[in-house]
Amino acid sequence: MVLTALHRAACSVTELATVIGVKQSAVSHQLRLLRALDLAVKGRRTGCDAGQPLDERLPK
């Protein structure tokens, strides 16, 4: 579900948690695993919000 949401657009952990309906800590854990597998890249921070984009090398 995290990959599906990120495939649409970069989202913050809070946005992902709301869309998917799970706790922020669960989303953070999943994002850490996706980054370890090179499926997501480290987020870009804007103020207190950080977007989590998919790796651009992945097919759409």
Task: With beta carbons less than 8 A apart as the criterion, state whether 31 and 13 touch.
Answer: yes
pLDDT per residue as tens digits for the range 28-41? 899 889 888 887 77
The answer on pLDDT for 5 being more than 90 is no
Instruction: Compute CA 27 distance to the chain's CA centroid, rounded to the nearest angstrom.
Output: 7
For residue 10, what are the contacts with CB-CB under 8 A and spacing of at least 6?
43, 44, 51, 52, 53, 54
Put simply, whether the predicted model's pTM sits higher than 0.75 gets the answer no
